[in-house]
Structure 1
Amino acid sequence: MTTGRAAGRTSGTRRRGVLRRAVDGVVTALVRRGSGPRGTVLLTVAGRTSGQPRTTPVTLVERDGTRWLVAPYGPVGWVANVRAAGVVDVRRGRAVQRLAVEEVDAAVGAPVLRQYLQEVAVVRRVFDVAPTDPVEAFVPLVATHPVFRLRPV
């Protein structure tokens, strides 16, 4: 069952508005201090053209002992950087981990994407499915909302 949102809302990328940038700034400051929303970390990855570090707050999901990175707003800049780099640093407070990143196919990513929507309510508005929909409804969405498996380097 879908939520009745307009078709196509999940395709393409989304630009962050002024409010989203302000919220990201507050979340970034909190996560740097070791607090902030549960599961939220600072993702740092080398820019694909500049090589300069780029940092953004993201929420990770844990499933079956594995940590997962989901791109709820589609293939935005950090996604292209992650694909190019293959490794990222995640930070919460003073703890920093270097992780290898592997993009997964739709069959693997669909249950992770569904769990992500169940746990991260703020992004639900950009999806054409509800968190309670069957996993099969999430399979086509992995093409526009990439899912990455994270492993220690």
Structure 2
Amino acid sequence: MNEQRVPKTYRHTGIHKAINPVMVVLTRAGLIPGSAVLTARGRTSGQPRSTPVTAIEHGGARWLVAPYGAVSWVRNVRASGELTLTRRRTRRRFAVREAMAEEAGPVLKRYVAVAPIVLPYFVAGRDDPVESFIAEADRHPVFELVEPHPR
């Protein structure tokens, strides 16, 4: 692990607040490769909240990674236990299961390979061993997307 590296801290600034709705529209339209719009019920308002995300495949499962930590969508998903992913005209509902550190480490390593723009928010570097990602898994929640049972 790169001991000298201090990870960047995510701050939801005014620019993020202005750009996020535009990114949601572009992502929902399928114009942002590999991304989808996550919608979850707000934990306090109960209203739907949406944000663009990148789901990845690893070990035969689909995963969502919170590279910026326990941001609002993470707290909403933890509270509701489910979410919807939308891309173009396809909407899919999922239950979620949060991964423990040992399971999350390999997913985090794969995620930074797929979305290297998030590397400044990690202590571990792209070429570091999985153990380095396990060591910081508590700072980057990872959720397995699980098909919900039919109602």
| TM-score, reference length from structure 1 | 0.89
SS of match in other structure, 1:100: strand
Pairs within 5 Å for 1:1-153 = 1-2=1-2, 4-6=4-6, 9=7, 14-38=10-34, 40-153=35-148
Q: What is the number of equivalent residue pairs in this alignment?
A: 148
Q: Which one-letter code corresponds to 1:94 in the other structure?
A: R
Shift of 1:37: 2.4
What's the % identity of the aligned pairs?
A: 44
Check whether the contact 2:37–2:87 (CA below 8 A) recurs between aligned residues.
Answer: yes
1:142, CA displacement in angstroms?
Answer: 1.1
**Secondary structure in structure 2 of the residue aligned to 1:102:** strand
Tell me how far apart the structure 2 counterparts of residues 88 and 57 of structure 1 sit (CA, whole Å): 12
The one-letter code of the counterpart of 2:20 is: D
Unaligned regions of 5+ residues in structure 2, if any? none
Q: TM-score, normalised by structure 2?
A: 0.90
How far, CA to CA, are the matches of 2:65 and 2:14 in structure 1? 22
Distance 2:16 2:123 in 1: 20
Residue 20 (structure 1) shift:
3.5
Q: Is the 8 A contact 1:3 1:130 kept in 2?
A: no
Per-residue displacement from partner, 1:70-109 (whole Å, max 9, x unpaired)? 0100011111110010010000011000001000100100
Q: CA deviation at 1:23?
A: 4.3
Across the aligned residues of Structure 1 and Structure 2, the Cα RMSD in angstroms comes to 1.7
- 14-23 or 90-99: bigger deviation: 14-23
1:108-145 residue CA offsets vs partner (Å, 9 max, x unmatched): 00000010011101111111111110000011211111
